[in-house]
Amino acid sequence: MQYFSTRGAGPVTLDEALVRGIASDGGLFLPQQLAAFMAEDFAAASSIPEVAARLMAPFFSGSSLQDDLQAILAETFSFPIPVTPLPAGEGSASLLELYHGPTAAFKDVGAGFLAACLTRLQGDDASPLTILVATSGDTGGAVAAAFNERPGMRVVVLFPEGRVSDRQAQQLTCWGDNVLSLRVRGAFDDCQALVKSALADTGLGSRFRFSSANSINIGRLLPQSTYYAHASLEHYAQTGRKPGFIVPTGNLGNALACVMAREMGLPIGPIILATNANRTISDYFETLKWLPRPSVQTLASAMDVGDPSNMERLRSLVGDADVLRERLGVLAVTDDLIEAAIREDYEAFGFATCPHTATATHTWRELDDELKTGHDWILVATAHPAKFETIVEPLIGATVPLPQGLAEILARPSRSVAIDADLAALDVALHEFFSA
């Protein structure tokens, strides 16, 4: 399998695409073609690792990692990903719980997979690979945890100062000597632009051997497709119906993984994107004009993205807005509606949801009757509500218990460095931290 840039450069191997992160022309890597499957192809696969092995095999064809795929998947899917039925009233709804990993967020899957791959490909104590990751809340913590103390690997986490929750900030700043956490004076989009600039800078790249762990890296997307494949196959086997998915999204990585699974032939029905008040995606579907803009701060901070990178992949894979809006739905959910959904979720389900997951539950409730009852729905829960206790607990009037892994992270000492959102400041921070 070969990989090409969304802007035309290539071909490269999977190994090269994983290490580079971003293509030489600034585009994002996609496989030359998606594998094609039928539900029957997974008849012998019941667990997520088994489904993942079948789904991922074509993408690893010709890779030096091909023989390591089973071991990589065993590392990646080392925690449960349950689908919990919800009391739906009319129709059918379930919650795909993606928050049972080390940092209590869905990004533990992609980050763990990428770490397992890159350590095998590039782990070199004499010349470490430096992973750059911009984060609006959850990505950086998952990547730092996945690469923490791995030999031959370094991580640089860039997050917007003052725009993540206290517990998210702790997850970004509590790791070992191979992790540098940078509080960037700006928004997530400034962090993401800084990562892209660094990856394109040959001088910096020659000194630090950069790669990326954002969802711009194809290694983040491939494994995420597998939990959509597994959940849809399991539902289809039990009911004979293709479930629809409602996916909270900011940078479009997790949503694109769901679209890729459907494009590969998995039994997936409608896909609806739930965004927050950052309306770039919803406005694109409505006006057919792609108008990125500075992000605005919301309660669903991990989705605060004004220029979603993976739209470039989505357009390349499916089509422009006139095609996309025929294939996908989208709803922008304001903070007031997020708060109302958190309250209603607790009353209706008996447990708390995080602000990001609440965009999905609100979107589900807003479906018209025909759409709501005409399909079985799987709502995607992207993070544990305990990460957002200052938002959630006052709304539900109860304490959200801490999962063990998150409690252990919160007990660690933390450290970080503040920088301006420019390449020179990043250069200084890298030199001072990794030369010390």
Nearest to 40 by CA among 264, 237, 225: 237
What are 368-402's pLDDT values in tens digits?
A: 999 999 999 999 999 999 999 999 999 999 999 99
Choose between 327 and 215: higher pLDDT. 327
- Give me the DSSP letters along 197-250: HHHH-HHHHHHH-EEE-STTSHHHHHHHHHHHHHHHHHHHHHHS-PPEEEEE-S
Position 404: which residue type? Q
pLDDT at 436 over 70: no
Three-class secondary structure of residue 427 per DSSP: helix
Q: Using CA atoms, how far apart are residues 405 and 402, in angstroms rounded to an integer?
A: 8
Q: Using CA atoms, how far apart are residues 181 and 365, in angstroms rounded to an integer?
A: 39
What is the model's pLDDT at position 316? 96
Q: Using CA atoms, how far apart are residues 222 and 225, in angstroms rounded to an integer?
A: 6
Q: Which of 214-228, 251-265, 281-295, 344-358 has the lowest mean pLDDT?
A: 214-228
Number of Cβ within 10 Å of residue 280's Cβ equals: 20
Q: Using CA atoms, how far apart are residues 328 and 232, in angstroms rounded to an integer?
A: 17
Percent of the chain with pLDDT over 90: 83
Nearest to 251 by CA among 280, 210, 219, 288: 280
Q: Cβ distance 75 to 111 under 8 Å?
A: no
Over residues 63-71, the mean pLDDT reads: 97
Q: Which of 186-195, 232-241, 361-370 has the lowest mean pLDDT?
A: 186-195
What is the model's pLDDT at position 135? 87
Over residues 33-48, the mean pLDDT reads: 96
Q: Prior bond to 11 cis, omega within 30?
A: yes
Q: Cβ distance 213 to 220 under 8 Å?
A: yes
Q: What is the mean pLDDT of the chain?
A: 94
Q: Cβ distance 353 to 383 under 8 Å?
A: no
Over residues 414-422, the mean pLDDT reads: 96
What is the model's pLDDT at position 36? 97
Three-class secondary structure of residue 415 per DSSP: coil
What is the model's pLDDT at position 122? 85
What are 289-335's pLDDT values in tens digits?
A: 999 999 999 999 889 999 999 999 999 999 999 999 999 999 999 99
Q: Token pair of 360, please?
A: 């999905």
- Give me the DSSP letters along 335-398: HHHHHHHHHHHHHHHSS---HHHHHHHHHHHHS-HHHHHHSEEEEEE-B-GGGGHHHHHHHHTS
Pairing of strands 376-381, 153-160: unpaired
What are 73-132's pLDDT values in tens digits?
A: 999 999 999 999 999 777 899 999 999 999 999 999 999 999 999 999 987 778 899 999
What is the model's pLDDT at position 21? 86
Cβ contacts of 7 within 8 Å, gap of 6 or more: 23, 25, 26, 27
What are 124-173's pLDDT values in tens digits?
A: 778 899 999 998 777 888 999 999 999 899 999 999 999 888 888 999 99
What the chain holds in terms of domains, given with CATH numbers, is: 80-105+219-402 (3.40.50.1100)
pLDDT at 251 over 80: yes
What are 254-294's pLDDT values in tens digits?
A: 999 999 999 999 999 999 999 999 999 999 999 999 999 99
Q: Cβ distance 275 to 286 under 8 Å?
A: no
Q: Cβ distance 382 to 354 under 8 Å?
A: yes
Percent of the chain with pLDDT over 70: 100
What is the model's pLDDT at position 435? 82
Q: Cβ distance 147 to 178 under 8 Å?
A: yes
pTM beyond 0.85: the answer is yes
